[in-house]
Each structure stands twice: as structure tokens, then as C-alpha cells.
Structure 1
Amino acid sequence: MSLVCLGLGSSAAPEVYLGPCFDALERTFGAVRLSRIFESEPVGCPGAANFFNAVAAFESDWSALALNAWTKRQEAAQNPPGPRRRHAPKALDIDLLSVGDTCLALDELTLPRADITRYAFVLTPLAELLPNQPHPRCGTPYAKLLARADFRDQRLWPVPFTWCGVRRSP
């Protein structure tokens, strides 16, 4: 069994998509821990709606490729068909951040995901949920990585309520 970390996000009716996404995670993988939900200004698409993000963590014996395929199926079921731009608004965005201490680089998947240290909306909830968990590549705990990060240009704040269906259990 490996600790799996997923980044969950939505910018199109997040109250509609994040709760059912969490429910699907629980139905598929059992006990899932969820960070608080954070709202952030969009990165890379000025003028777009704010994003709502969280991190989910759970134990699984699924391979990284099987987990990645599952996340893509969940996204496809919730997002309208058609081409996607990176950082474009999405009803549901699920990113496989890490699978245990797996390090790999394939065309379709890189682990751990570089976004872990690049974006406040990923590292902040990850450090909240798993402060002492070491980053798979560098070995530094997520809380220390967050303390060292300079995210002054990335505004982020916790959402002061919980949507129906979303249970937080860090």
C-alpha cells in the first residue's frame, strides 16, 4: 500500500463538483483524508473565475498509471468534451501529485508532480494535511517546503464553509 495524494480543483460551480468527487474517492478507495478547501486567484489565465482547491490523501495498492487513468475518467465525466488549455477553467480537475515514494517521468505522467512546490494552491493544503510527510524526491517534509516557499504573488485563502457532501478529516 502506498500513500496517494491528489490535488482536487474546480472553477465552474465547485460546490457541485468537489463533493461528488470526494464521494467517488471514498467509494473507490475507502478512507480518504481531505484538507480544507482553499480559494485562489487563477494562475496563467487572467480574468478567469477563482479556483477552489483541496488535497485528498489515501492508501492504495493501485499502480500510478491505474490511478492516473481513474482521475482522467472522473474528469472526463464532469467536464464538457473538447480540447483543454492548461490552467483553463474546469468543472473538475484532479491531479495525481504523488504515489508513495514513486519517482517517474513518462509522457502521460510525472511523479511526484512538479506542481507540489510550484503553486500555493497545491503545497498549502498538502502541508496542512500531511505536514511531516516527506516530498518523494527531495525528502523534505511538506510543512518545511511551505515555510521556505515564496508565494507572495499567489493569493490563497481557506474557504470558511464546507459544502454539502464534503467532509474534512485530516
Structure 2
Amino acid sequence: MATIFISLGSNIDPERHLKAALTDLQDHFGPLELSSVFESEAVGFEGTNFLNMVVAAQTQLSIADVVSRFKQIEQRHGRVKGAKKFAPRTLDLDLLLYDDTISEQPIELPRAEILYNAFVLWPLAEIAPTLNHPVVNQSYQALWNDYDKSQQSLWPVEFSWSA
């Protein structure tokens, strides 16, 4: 059984889409461990604010199958296949970590944005503070402590989801 960490984000009816994604993820992967939900400004384009969080789950699926499942969930909730990268979205699910796997194919792991996006690092540090990044060999809490927090504006928000 592999432990996976998933980044969730949305800036189109974000509360509804995050809740729907959590329900789908739980249906596919079982019990979830959730970070707080954070609101942040759009990064890389002008747009409405995003809601973001990180979720941990267990799986026996391969990396490719996990990513395929994420794409199905995104599309079921209105994500347009092949849409522009830096644009508003109903739902974005990204595999951040698959145990301590380091790979380039079928996707890059660990996901590079862990180290440079506050909306990924802060919630990851919240639910896995003592876990070490498999490349830089520092804990996520240490990485968050050292992160230049003036780079991106981010704040926790109230969010409620019933499993």
C-alpha cells in the first residue's frame, strides 16, 4: 500500500468542487487525511482567488492509474481536457508524492511545485510535518519554516466536509 499526497485546487465555485472531489477521492481511495483549506491569489495569471488543500490517502494503484483516476475526477467536475495551464479551473488534482518515489515518468515525483508554491507546501507541512522531501531531504515543516512567505499571499479559511 502506497501513501499518496494530493493537491486540490479550484477557483470556479471552489467550495462545491472541493467537496465533490473529496467525496470522489474517498470513494476511490478510502479514508482521507485532510489539511486545512487555504485561500490564495491566482499564481501565473490574473483570476479569482483559489481554494487549495492537500489530502493524504492510501492506494494499491500504480502511479499512472492514480493520475488517470484524477483526470477522470477532474473531467467529471467540468475540467476541460487540454485547457490552458494558467487559467481558471473547476478542479485541479495533482499527485504530489507517491511514498518516497523519485521519477520523471509517467509524471515528475515529487512534484516540483512543492518547493515553490505556498498553497502546496503549507498544507503539506500541516499534514506531514516530519516527512522528508525525498530529493532535498528536509522535512516539510522545515521547508515551510524556511519558505519566503512574502512571495505568495495565502490564508486559512473555514471549510466543512462530511465524509
Q: Same fold (TM over 0.5)?
A: yes
TM-score (norm 1): 0.90
Q: What does residue 133 of structure 1 align with? A: 131
User: Is contact 1:3–1:58 with CA below 8 Å preserved after alignment?
Assistant: yes
Render the CA deviation track for 1:12-70: whole Å, top value 9, x for unaligned: 00121111111111111111101000000011102x00010000001212111111111
Q: Which amino acid aligns with 2:17?
A: Y
Q: What does residue 77 of structure 2 align with? A: 78
Paired with 2:162 and 2:5, the residues of 1 have a C-alpha distance of 17
Identity %: 36
Q: Which amino acid aligns with 1:116?
A: I
Are 1:60 and 2:97 an aligned pair?
Answer: no
Paired with 1:70 and 1:97, the residues of 2 have a C-alpha distance of 14
Please list every run of 5 or more consecutive structure 1 residues that lacks an aligned counterpart in the other structure.
Answer: none
TM-score (norm 2): 0.94
In the TM superposition, 1:1-170 aligns within 5 A as 1-46=1-46, 48-81=47-80, 83-106=82-105, 109-159=107-157, 161-163=158-160, 165-166=161-162
Aligned length: 163
Q: Which amino acid aligns with 1:16?
A: R
The alpha carbon displacement at 1:82 in A equals 5.4
Root mean square deviation of aligned Cα: 1.4
Would you identify which runs of 4 or more consecutive aligned residues in structure 1 move more than 4 Å?
none
